[in-house]
Amino acid sequence: MAGGFWTRFLAAPGLWLLCLFALPLTLTLAMSFGYVDEFGRAAYDSPFAPGALDNYADAFDPIYLPSLVRSVTYALGTTALCLAIGYPIAYYIARFGGRRKYLLIGLLVLPFFVNYLVRTYAWVALLSDEGLVNNALIDLGVTSQGIQMINTPWAVIGGLTYGYLVFMILPVFAALERMDPAVIEAGKDLYGNKLQTFLHVTLPQTRQGILAGSVLVFLPSVGDFVSATLLGGPNTFMVGNLIQDQFFAANNWPFGAALTVIMMIFLTIWMIGYLRAAAREARPAL
């Protein structure tokens, strides 16, 4: 009886998620087996029809493969950079932030509530050939010509890092927060030096946070198309750009859907890897 009452709370949101999330995902999957008919229109096809997997074969065609590889490379680079920037700052605040800890973290989170487009646009203004950074470099005499920073893979990875850094900082910070300072004191007595203490005590205890952060940064980076469009050059086309173009320029929805499914599968593998690692971590702790 009691269970029945509470189950009623699930009906509306559950139905909503089914109809507007699960069903659309299924539709994307269905579309990925389809084809473009003679009039250029998207048409569904059974997954068992001959040629139903053509879209998937096309995705790994040498002409498109570089975009897929590039997306993964950029996303990995972004994750590494976010870790390299996010861990020390989270560590600094968690350890030495004192009473202002939450204020400091809040300040770090603040920029991420500024629209992502506007933030990326700021980097366009900063990094362009006659932008503020180049002007400063020329004024300082570092270079006379200005350096090309925009329209490069580095600019794209930088833009992604700027965009998603918060997803690394928060889980790492939360993990550091959960640590008992007494454990560190004990580790210090045991290992004597700070580096050893960090490597043997702090780092392993925050591995959960690092894993979570890596996943949270990697997922949106792989599918991003804003950074590559605004900061990239001719050779920074990512799978997000490719998908977007299939829908709005090349008009091949089934192929776009197949690319979307491939991305989803790839990310699911990544997620499962994370969940298993997290479960492994959790066990000895209990």
Name residues contacting another protein, limited to 142-161 (CB under 8 A). Answer: 148, 150-151
DSSP labels for 80-138? HHHHHHHHHHHHHHHHH-GGGHHHHHHHHHGGGGS-HHHHHHHHHHHHSTTSHHHHHHH
Structure tokens at 206: 């925050």
Site residue total, another protein (CB under 8 A)? 134
80 binds another protein per the rule CB under 8 A: no
* Shortest Å, Cβ 119 to another protein: 6
207 binds another protein per the rule CB under 8 A: no
8-state DSSP, 140: T
Paired sense of beta strands 42-43 and 35-36, if any: antiparallel
Spell out where 155-217 has E strands.
none
- Among 220, 277, 278, 281, the residue binding another protein under the rule CB under 8 A is 220
8-state DSSP, 36: E
Residue 42: helix, strand or coil by DSSP? strand
140 binds another protein per the rule CB under 8 A: no
* Shortest Å, Cβ 79 to another protein: 14
Q: Which of residues 236-255 bind another protein (CB under 8 A)?
A: 237, 240-253
Q: Which of residues 158-177 bind another protein (CB under 8 A)?
A: 162, 165, 170-175
279 binds another protein per the rule CB under 8 A: no
In this structure, the number of other CB atoms found within 10 A of the CB of residue 268 comes to 10
Over the window 36 to 75, marking each residue x when it contacts another protein by CB under 8 A and - when it does not, the resulting string is xxxxxxxxxxx----------------xx-xx--------
130 binds another protein per the rule CB under 8 A: yes
* Shortest Å, Cβ 84 to another protein: 10
211 binds another protein per the rule CB under 8 A: no
HSE (side-chain half, CA atoms, 13 Å) at 215:
19
